[in-house]
Amino acid sequence: MTAIMEAPPAEEKAPRRVALRPGAWIVWGSVVFFLLILLGVVGAVVVNSFGRKWFGGWLPKGWTTHWYGATWKEFDLSGVLTVTLEVALAVVVVSVLVGVPAAYALARRNFPGKRVLMVAFLLPILIPPITYGVPLATVLYKFHLAGRLSGVILANLVPAVPFVILVMTPFIEQIDPKIEAAARMCGARTRVIFTRILGPLLIPGMLAAAILVLVRTVGMFELTFLTAGADSQTLVVALYYSVSAAGIRAQQETDAMAVIYTLSMLVLLVAALRFVNPTQLVTQIKERD
Amino acid sequence: MAAAPAVARPRISLRHRLAERGVDRTLLLLLPAVVFVVALFIYPFVYGLQLSFQPQAGSDAANKYGTGPFADYRLFFSDPYLRNTIWTTLKIGLPAALFNVLASVPIAYRMRGRFRGKRAVTTILVVPITLGTVLTAEGLLAFMGPTGWLNRILLDLGIVDHPVRLTHNYWGVVFSLVITGFPFAFLLTLSYLTGIDPTLERAAATLGAGWWQRFRHITLPLLAPGLAITFCLSFVLAFSVFPSAIMVGEPARQTRVISIAAFHAAFEQYDYSMASAIAMIMGAVELIVIGLVLGWRARLYKGATGGKG
Amino acid sequence: MSRSSTKISELRLDKVCREFGGVRALDGLDLTISGGEFVALLGPSGCGKSTALNCLAGLLPLTGGTITLDDRRIDGLQPEQRGFGMVFQNYALFPHMSVRSNIGFGLRMAKVPKADARRRVDEAIRLVQLEEHTDKFPGQLSGGQQQRVAIARAIVLEPPLVLMDEPLSNLDAKLRLEMRTEIKRIHQTLGLTTIYVTHDQEEALSLADRLVLLRQGRVQQIGSPEEVYTEPANRFVAGFMGYRNELGLPVSQVNEKTVVLDGLGGGLTGVRRDDLGARAVAAIRPEDFTVGDGPNATEVTVEVVEYQGREQAIQARTDDGVDLHLRADARLAPGDRVTVSVPPERVLVFAAESPAAPEEVA
């Protein structure tokens, strides 16, 4: 039931589009307004990163790609990108390996204490990262893990594992347990059920979970920020430092890095949307249609 | 193997009794995740909690209130500079979350059906979520800054005489929370709305209900529990505002939120017990707000909404 | 790994029990099935019939009792070790496998040589008439076709026992009749011992050699379709087998075999099935009533008429205010006064305290 369908039915002459109600205009207007602001926010960064100088005026005076080379060198972006990739991939692999079996058990069994366990798995997602990030960083420093790659990976796993569980549990629930029973009736042992039956059926869900964790890990600022050392920064943290170091470096260098960050996020996003619905990026609720 | 019977009986029945309650070998699959949550979430949390009751010698709290277990908390609540971070955070987080949820309802309501370009719109809305707060803040500085495009448009249109100050203050942070938070709230609301069976509204229409009555008496009551969840999650996002409060806010005064205080204590003063205390207070305040909302939600109808969601 | 040989001579269930949190879903089921038999477990939902099937399959462990297959105890075995075939209510096909791989899965698990497996899968596909669809996936098939795949998958190994869990309940009425015939034909062709769970008495009567009626986990009657249909052991079975009229009436005269009840005109004579107290329940099928004078005649007023093709289903009320369900060839209309009668041997009289059938009997 779109705006068009709610138009008063067939006042023959009037073209249907014109019959949009004022309410619809307001709604669509505010959506367009929001998108324009969004465009402005992203556009301003992109334009600035290519600008030679930009003081006042609608556009910079002259264009250049100089800042990209500069920022690449000065912030050692190849190193930062490598770290980002290493952290993200490690988090994805570990969280899927740990989360999927747990999700299976939660989807298939009702046992005493299940609710408590579910709450324990939910909390890392419900509580803001800063709240548990500070004590977590303290503990990681105590065990000399923080400031290193392993510490960053461990910290990022805290919301990632519950997230995989949250995505996978409903996915596994919608796989009929009778299918497993049917396989057993055909003589399949537990190992075969996991490799031949469940494995192939779970792959779409695991891909979705993995790509969502990837996007979230690359974008996760707080936890990485709290646990990263000089040589274990991810891109988003490097970006933050370059912003707070403004004044020392040219603003355009920061913006160039921001564009690199944006681009890498967009690549991930496009990849993600091949496997999942946009709604799933924010929630485990699956929109089936 | 068929000759196991008589002896095996009691053992089988114990296993059966456990299995009946859902306890069997499958639960071993939970083990890695449980170990993980305990080691990396619960243990640090408990560690932080007990650390918050052990003020660090030589810290402000210890100097002022001694090394009793509550010194850090006493300092926090007696020092207005610290105490006020709670109100500052709530003053930013609550309106931003509320706005995001309330604005998303009419828009999601309008877009709940299928139409061409729906996926495109939702995809564009996902962009700010994936961009994250750091990039949004950076963009806001450029776009809404005194010489940014927005002020330029306002000046050229003659709406204002002087550039409006929209960054490095309260509003900059609120804007950044709306830009990242609204799409989040919208997509959640949309998915809750599509879970409500559209024939319910049609049924109401055949009974003579106008669009407002349909929304008010059918859709809204079914949507309300979902909205409560949406508000909670939006509030969590807004409450933990950190990078944008520093970058587009005024981190020393107007937008000194509680997470800045926690960070400041931990990584600039190296007072981990104070930082833990602030983190605990932060968590407590947040859980109180969420608890209130969920308490209200518990009184709502939460059964099936007839839809496919 | 001990897959049993195909033909069995006897499957014996001895006091099989299954509890769920203290509730006995299955309470001492004793049943002996001989090779090649088709047995239907029949009862309303929650009677324990599916529990019994799952216990046989090994999907649910027993709480008590034993299951022996040709003198070999099997109740401790895992389902994959029992080597039974099973057809599930919602088919439970592997959605990521083609029809051919679905059917061949069991052969692959049993490590049957490729060529042999291929031949047997082809055979099974021909038997269920799916030759056109061998490379399709379950999602591309209609409900009936999916059901055929499920059946083929269960029988391709020619298992010692085929278990069917309400296999037709998800199909529409026309397809259900068609598949019923199909199942019967396959059973006649292969002669596989089959246990079939259903809540539909018509399905059970038409398919099975023997019926087991269950209520609250207990056996009510075991017998051939004809025995169960014409001589229900108690009021519950009668109600379930279509004795729709249950008239609670005072007893006026008890003889050795027959009994006379007060009511329905000049008194209702019927066959005594229980020891009777002061009141009893007479169970009569709608189709046993005839319109016109005869034994046990009474005058009724027609209230509701349902057209059903060759005949009409009538709800009528006696002058004493008792509602009767009957069938009539004659065209009747609401308000008509007619005389109906029923032969005494078609009136079964049970004790009033005998357990009743559930409300919604098909």
Global pTM value = 0.79
- Within-domain flag for B287: yes
Given a cut of 80, whether residue B119 has pLDDT beyond it is: no
Q: Do C74 and B5 touch (CB under 8 A)?
A: no
Q: Do B135 and A45 touch (CB under 8 A)?
A: yes
- Within-domain flag for B45: no
Domains in chain A, number: 2
pLDDT classification of C354: cutoffs 50, 70, 90: low
Residues A48 and A176 in one domain: no
Q: Do C80 and A200 touch (CB under 8 A)?
A: no
- Within-domain flag for B305: no
CB C129 within 8 A of CB C148: yes
Contacts with C20 from chain B: Cβ below 8 Å: 20
Contacts with C72 from chain B: Cβ below 8 Å: 2
Shortest CA gap A178–chain B (Å): 16
User: To probe the interface with A, which of B54, B143, B274 has the most A CB atoms within 10 Å?
Assistant: B143
Q: Do C92 and A181 touch (CB under 8 A)?
A: yes
Q: How many other C-beta atoms can be found within 10 angstroms of the C-beta atom of residue A12?
A: 4
Range of the domain at A26: 22-52+60-64
Q: Do B5 and C76 touch (CB under 8 A)?
A: yes
pLDDT classification of A280: cutoffs 50, 70, 90: low
Chain C contacts in chain B segment 7-36 (CB below 8 A):
8, 12-13, 15-16, 19-20
Taking the alpha carbons at both ends of chain C, their separation in whole angstroms is 44
Measure the CA–CA gap between C164 and A39, rounded to whole angstroms: 61
User: To probe the interface with C, which of A185, A197, A202, A203 has the most C CB atoms within 10 Å?
Assistant: A185
Given a cut of 80, whether residue C81 has pLDDT beyond it is: yes
Measure the CA–CA gap between C235 and C233, rounded to whole angstroms: 7
Range of the domain at B211: 54-297
pLDDT, residue A282, reads 54
Given a cut of 90, whether residue C226 has pLDDT beyond it is: yes
Q: Do A261 and B135 touch (CB under 8 A)?
A: yes
Q: Which residue of A has its CA nearest to C155?
A: A186
pLDDT classification of A286: cutoffs 50, 70, 90: very low
- Within-domain flag for A251: yes
If you compute the radius of gyration of chain B from its CA atoms, what whole number of angstroms results?
26
Kindly report the CATH number assigned to the domain that includes residue A223: 1.10.3720.10
B32 versus B137: the higher-pLDDT residue is: B32
- Within-domain flag for B11: no
pLDDT, residue A10, reads 41
Shortest CA gap C328–chain A (Å): 45
Given a cut of 70, whether residue B1 has pLDDT beyond it is: no
pLDDT in tens, B251-279: 888 889 998 998 888 888 888 889 999 99
Find the CB nearest C59 among A181, A186, A200: A181
Q: Do C19 and B8 touch (CB under 8 A)?
A: no
pLDDT, residue B7, reads 40
DSSP label at A223?
H
* 3-state SS assignment for residue C16: strand
- Chain C contact for B118 (CB, 8 A cutoff): no
pLDDT in tens, C5-33: 467 889 999 999 888 877 888 888 999 99
Q: Do C93 and A200 touch (CB under 8 A)?
A: no
Taking the alpha carbons at both ends of chain A, their separation in whole angstroms is 15
> Can you read off the two tokens belonging to residue B256?
């000194």
DSSP string for residues in C192-248: --EEEEES-HHHHHHH-SEEEEEETTEEEEEE-HHHHHHS-SSHHHHHHTT--EEEE
Contacts with B132 from chain A: Cβ below 8 Å: 219, 221, 236, 265
- Within-domain flag for A2: no
Find the CB nearest B16 among C2, C61, C72: C61
Closest of B145, B184, B174, B182 to residue B244, by C-alpha: B174
- Within-domain flag for B46: no
Q: Which residue of A has its CA nearest to B20?
A: A111
Q: C-side interface with B, Cβ within 8 Å?
A: 2, 19-21, 61, 63, 66, 72-74, 76-77
pLDDT classification of B115: cutoffs 50, 70, 90: confident
- Within-domain flag for B9: no
Contacts with A262 from chain B: Cβ below 8 Å: 131, 135
DSSP string for residues in B274-291: HHHHHHHHHHHHHHHHHH
Q: Which of A5, A33, A64 is the last residue of a domain?
A: A64
Q: Which amino acid is at B10?
A: P
Residues A30 and A106 in one domain: no
pLDDT in tens, A155-199: 999 999 998 998 888 889 888 899 999 999 998 888 899 889 998
Closest of A94, A81, A79, A227 to residue A151, by C-alpha: A227
Q: Do B247 and A123 touch (CB under 8 A)?
A: no
Strands C38-42 and C210-215: parallel
Find the CB nearest C88 among A178, A187, A188: A178
Measure the CA–CA gap between C291 and C302, rounded to whole angstroms: 11
Measure the CA–CA gap between B114 and A254, rounded to whole angstroms: 41
Average pLDDT, chain A: 82
Give me the total of CB pairs closer than 8 Å, taking one residue from chain A and one from chain B: 282
pLDDT classification of B306: cutoffs 50, 70, 90: low
Shortest CA gap B24–chain C (Å): 12
User: To probe the interface with A, which of C105, C120, C197 has the most A CB atoms within 10 Å?
Assistant: C105
pLDDT classification of B218: cutoffs 50, 70, 90: confident
- Chain B contact for A45 (CB, 8 A cutoff): yes
Q: Do A185 and C78 touch (CB under 8 A)?
A: no
Contacts with B3 from chain C: Cβ below 8 Å: 73
- Chain B contact for A230 (CB, 8 A cutoff): no
Q: Do A183 and C94 touch (CB under 8 A)?
A: yes
pLDDT, residue B168, reads 86
pLDDT in tens, A230-279: 888 888 888 888 877 766 667 788 888 888 888 888 888 777 777 776 66
Measure the CA–CA gap between B290 and C132, rounded to whole angstroms: 58
pLDDT in tens, C181-193: 999 999 999 999 9
pLDDT in tens, B238-255: 888 888 888 888 888 888
- Within-domain flag for A149: yes
Residues A46 and A91 in one domain: no
Mean pLDDT of B152-171: 85
pLDDT in tens, A2-54: 334 444 444 444 444 445 577 778 888 888 888 888 888 888 888 888 888 77
Residues A145 and A222 in one domain: yes
C282 versus B163: the higher-pLDDT residue is: C282
pLDDT in tens, A137-156: 989 988 988 888 999 999 99
Find the CB nearest C79 among A178, A179, A185: A185
Q: Do B33 and A102 touch (CB under 8 A)?
A: yes
Domains in chain B, number: 1
Residues A39 and A150 in one domain: no
pLDDT in tens, C102-151: 999 999 998 999 999 999 999 999 999 999 999 999 989 998 899 999 99
pLDDT in tens, C315-335: 999 888 889 999 988 888 899
Contacts with B180 from chain A: Cβ below 8 Å: none
Given a cut of 70, whether residue B15 has pLDDT beyond it is: no
pLDDT in tens, C30-44: 999 998 999 999 998
User: To probe the interface with B, which of C26, C63, C71, C81 has the most B CB atoms within 10 Å?
Assistant: C63
- Maximum distance among all alpha carbons in chain B? 96
Contacts with C21 from chain B: Cβ below 8 Å: 20
- Chain C contact for B1 (CB, 8 A cutoff): yes
Q: Which residue of C has its CA nearest to A177?
A: C92
Q: Do B47 and A138 touch (CB under 8 A)?
A: yes
A15 versus C204: the higher-pLDDT residue is: C204
Q: What is the ipTM of this complex?
A: 0.80
User: To probe the interface with A, which of B17, B30, B227, B269 has the most A CB atoms within 10 Å?
Assistant: B30
- Within-domain flag for A154: yes
Taking the alpha carbons at both ends of chain B, their separation in whole angstroms is 48
Closest of C144, C143, C142, C131 to residue C103, by C-alpha: C131
- Chain B contact for A121 (CB, 8 A cutoff): yes
- Chain C contact for A199 (CB, 8 A cutoff): no
Mean pLDDT of B201-205: 84
CB C133 within 8 A of CB C99: yes
Residues A89 and A35 in one domain: no
CB C159 within 8 A of CB C58: no
Q: Do A282 and B126 touch (CB under 8 A)?
A: yes
Closest of C180, C143, C186, C165 to residue C88, by C-alpha: C165
User: To probe the interface with B, which of A214, A279, A280, A286 has the most B CB atoms within 10 Å?
Assistant: A279
Kindly report the CATH number assigned to the domain that includes residue B105: 1.10.3720.10
Residues A32 and A171 in one domain: no
Measure the CA–CA gap between C99 and C194, rounded to whole angstroms: 23
- Chain A contact for C105 (CB, 8 A cutoff): yes
pLDDT, residue A4, reads 40
Closest of B89, B306, B287, B270 to residue B193, by C-alpha: B306
Shortest CA gap A1–chain C (Å): 29
- Within-domain flag for B41: no
Residues A135 and A270 in one domain: yes
* Proportion of chain A above pLDDT 70, given as a percent: 86
Q: Which chains touch B (3 or more CB pairs under 8 A)?
A: A, C
Residues A225 and A173 in one domain: yes
